Structures are given as structure tokens and as C-alpha cells.
Amino acid sequence: MKRIINTGKAPAAIGPYSQAVEVNGTLYISGQIPVDATTGKVVEGGAKEQAEQCLKNVGYILEAAGYTFGDVVKSTCLLSDIADFAAMNEVYARYYTKDYPARAAFAVKALPLGVLVEIETIAVK
């Protein structure tokens, strides 16, 4: 059975997609950009601040679905500039401290709203 997950703590989708979809104990979280849901705006600062907000948003969605960061099995980190890899990775390492999920991280030409970081996540119960 498919369950759509939405929470007001994370920013609303900016297109025709859901924040997350759960199917058979697997949670697929759409790419989270560094928008603060309380203000509706991209957080100020650089890649560290933006990665922090992306992961906060992932956490809000995990929580709404009844999952934790410990349930995450795969992340995809998109960067507008690969030079921001170390900054993103520093923040990422605070959220995943053991039994790390699989991950891909790469640079793309551009991200929505001109952000520096976007992170999508898969978690399994």
C-alpha cells in the first residue's frame, strides 16, 4: 500500500510531487532544498547552512513518517558546485555517525531556486 507523507515542518513541494511516499516499509523522500518552512525562504549563508537546513527538512519528514536517521539506507546529495563537497560533508557527518547509509554526491548545473545543496533520501523499516 502506498502512503503519502506531508508535514508542515518541511517546505511544501514546489511542483507536482509529494514530500515523501512510503511503500512496503520503504520511505522515499523527495529532494529537500534549504527552505525554512516557517519563513518559506531559502536560508541565508553558504553550503554548510544550506546542508543543515536540507537535513533538518529530511528529519522532519522522517519523523512525520515514523522513521529516524538510523533508518536511512541511501542519500543522494546534489551540489551546484563540487567545491562545496567538504562543507556539505561536514554537516552530513553530524547526522550520520555510524552505520552510514549508501550515498552519491555530485555537482549539477543548477538547482531549484538557485540553492547550493539538495538532498534526497531513502529509508527502510
Q: Residue 14's pLDDT is what?
A: 86
Q: Is the dihedral of CA 78, 84, 86, 92 positive or negative?
A: negative
Q: What is the CATH number of domain 2-124?
A: 3.30.1330.40
Mean pLDDT to the nearest integer, 18-24: 98
Band of the pLDDT at 12, cuts 50, 70, 90? very high
Q: Give a three-class secondary structure readout of 1-52.
A: CEEEECCCCCCCCCCCCCCEEEECCEEEEEEECCEECCCCEECCCCHHHHHH
Helix axes 85-95, 47-65, angle to 10 degrees: 30
pLDDT of 5 > 90? The answer is: yes
Read off the pLDDT of residues 40-57 as tens digits, 9 standing for 90 and up. Answer: 999 999 999 999 999 999
Q: What is the pLDDT of residue 56?
A: 98
Confidence band for 118, pLDDT divided at 50, 70 and 90 = very high
CB–CB of 51/34 below 8 Å? yes
Q: Considering the entire predicted model, what is its pTM? A: 0.97
